[in-house]
A and B are shown apart, each in its own frame.
Chain A
Amino acid sequence: MTLTQISRMATGCPGLDHVLAGGLPEGRSTLVSGTAGSGKTVLGLQFLHDGVRDYDQPGVFLTFEERPEQLRANAASLGFDIAGMEAEGKWLFVDASYNADRDEQQVGPFDFGALLLRLRHAVQTVGAQRVTLDSIGAVFTRYQDATTVRRELMRVTELLRELGVTAIVTSERAEEYGQIGKHGVEEFVCDNVMVLRNALEEETRRRTIEVLKMRGVDHLTGEFPFTIVPKSGIVVITLEDTALNAPSADERIHSGLQELDEMCNGGMFRDSINLVSGATGTGKTLLVSEFTRGGASRGERSLIFSFEESRSQLFRNAAGWGMDFAGLEAEGLLKVEAAYPEVRSLEDHLVQIKRVVEEYQPHRIAIDSLSALERIAPERSYREFLIGLTAYIKHCQVAALLTSSARNLLGATSVTDAHISTLTDMIMLLRYVEIGGAVRRGFMVLKLRGSTHDKQIHEFVIGSNGMKIGAPFRDVTGILAGSPQRVAALSEEYHDMSYMFDGD
């Protein structure tokens, strides 16, 4: 006996292909089961749409539920141009939706011969490689003879197999957890089952997708959160996806500070997530402002989400550092969105952030601060928010600067957010450094993915022209631990403070 490798067909749905370890089993039907409003039809539309757009694989949408014009309109609201694909001969609807004018009485046995004929004809007409059937429940609504419907649905899936198309078959279920479908046929018509959920948890809706079974092929197990985003449709959020699937550019951009660019060997990456962590007052918001000024100097638009300071505070601070935010806004190089974290849930914040990003199309995004958002939600939601946020930023391929407050004024427990550190491309630390009875500020790049970087702790000062990063601290150890000490072997009793730093 030889094992035949089942090849995969990439769905095109961000994150889902990762969960599916490559895509749906090619030439097979996959059941997508979910409660009302869980996103089944969207997934079915997206599967065909992305197939045409990304892989030039035509599709046939067999609908028992919504009329084609409704589906076109729903798809258009997601940014999918189905009418255009129909005009190009890449998409066909087979309309078997219920309509009161076409109410049918039943007198004696019947079969779905005409439907099979239409499906075969449609698949052959456009050369379809993908088919969506939406949904099984609606067939049972149109024809009450359940035994016949069950038998005929099996014939439909047999035909799909014979035609060699990869198919999604949707089905309703009554509860989020329980039997897969309510018609007692679902498991038998498809080898593969995915479940979409839209569960109410701590008063918020949480959408997840789970691959229940994929006969004979690999997949990730467990529930993965997803969101529905304009232009992309369903975006499944996986940690690994952010690292693996997002394309990354080698292009560097100006961080806003010449010295920081040098520490990073040429600047931040064009599509990167950069985290700055530091205690209150160390200069995180200043770094955000420098990041914005740096972008503006290259003609790049920045979008700042401020959850700690109001617009006017932000503008006043910027003025104190010699930056004209009002002027930048007038030139269209800056947009500031300020809101209290408490005004909406984290999920809604994420949706709002996406909405504004879609509208403004910035080159750079700053969020100040994550810590302010952290306090309004349970840990699990916060973690999922971060994953969703970073996945989205990666998707947009922009540079992002996120700030996080360290809990202690001095030293450690800094990047408290163990969650976020793995999602970032660069981590910068801002530290108070107490030496010889005086408090100074230290700056270091803790991590920079994909590049070498300066690993020394530099002193920096804040002046009327913003931030100035200076030379590294020398002969000092223990800054990160919060208790800086002069290195005994190198220091002498008579050493002045100034000896701890390089020249200038």
Chain B
Amino acid sequence: MMEYSPDIVPLRRAHFQIFVLGRTPAAILVEQQLRRACRRVRGPVTIEVIDLFEHPEIAEERDIVATPMVLRLHPTPQVRVVGDLSDPAALVAAFDLNDTADDSQGDTP
């Protein structure tokens, strides 16, 4: 049961980078899942998809081992999540998206 807490400020803006290797089913799923979860952000959301096959040097720079990998650049601190984000609840928890009004659950009137 979620309750609105007045000291949590709703997310006004968010910036994510998704690192994938080609347009695999997992890569497509990650983007869909993330976009769906970001609907709850009250403001502009930037989602970049970076194909490491085209930019292998980025994998080195960012020390990426596992893919798919999603990096939350904003809000800070940065958060790194690996996996295909197939579990929406875990995705919301990992990126701390719960501070917006939760409309995915059946609210009690």
Contacts and interface: CB of A to CB of B under 8 A. Distances in A.
Interface of A: 94-96, 99, 101-115, 117-118, 121, 142-143
Interface in B9-68: 19, 21, 26, 52-53, 56, 59-60, 63-68
21 contacts: A96-B65, A99-B63, A104-B80, A107-B82, A107-B83, A107-B86, A107-B90, A108-B86, A109-B83, A109-B86, A111-B67, A112-B67, A113-B66, A114-B64, A117-B56, A118-B60, A121-B59, A121-B60, A142-B65, A143-B65, A143-B66
Nearest first, the 10 closest Cβ-Cβ pairs linking A and B are A108-B83, A108-B86, A108-B84, A114-B64, A107-B83, A113-B21, A110-B66, A113-B67, A110-B82, A115-B65
B107 interface: no
Nearest to A93: B60
Given A104-B69, A114-B19, A114-B69, A96 B82 contact: no
Given A104-B66, A107-B91, A114 B83 contact: no
B103 interface: no
Contacts of A94: 60
B69 A107 contact: no
Q: Determine which residue in A96, A101, A102 has the highest number of CB atoms from chain B within 10 A of its CB, and name it.
A: A102
Given A107-B91, A108-B83, A118-B56, 12 more contacts: A106-B82, A106-B83, A107-B83, A107-B85, A107-B87, A109-B26, A109-B86, A110-B67, A113-B21, A114-B21, A117-B21, A117-B53
Contacts, number: 87
A271 B94 CA distance: 67
Contact of A105 (B63, B67, B82): B82
A106 B81 contact: yes
A143 B69 CA distance: 13
Contacts of A108: 83-87, 90
A106 B81 CA distance: 6
Contact of A121 (B56, B69, B83, B94): B56
Nearest to A152: B66
A109 B64 contact: no
A117 B80 contact: no
B69 A109 contact: no
Interface residues of B, number: 28
B101 interface: no
B73 interface: no
A316 to B, nearest CB: 66
Nearest to B21: A113
A142 B83 CA distance: 14
Given A103-B80, A105-B81, A105-B94, A110 B68 contact: yes
B84 A110 contact: yes
A181 to B, nearest CB: 20
Contacts of B56: 117-118, 121
A138 to B, nearest CB: 11
A111 B52 CA distance: 14
Nearest to B78: A101
Contacts of A99: 63
A106 B93 CA distance: 11
Nearest to B22: A113
A213 B71 CA distance: 43
B63 A102 contact: yes
Contacts of B67: 110-114
B97 to A, nearest CB: 12
Nearest to B53: A117
A118 B84 CA distance: 20
A112 B63 contact: no
Contacts of A101: 78
A286 to B, nearest CB: 66
Q: Determine which residue in A96, A101, A109 has the highest number of CB atoms from chain B within 10 A of its CB, and name it.
A: A109
A112 B59 CA distance: 11
A105 B79 contact: yes
A109 B52 CA distance: 18
A115 B65 CA distance: 4
Given A110-B68, A118-B56, A95 B94 contact: no
A305 to B, nearest CB: 50
A95 B63 contact: yes
A95 B90 CA distance: 28
A68 B107 CA distance: 52
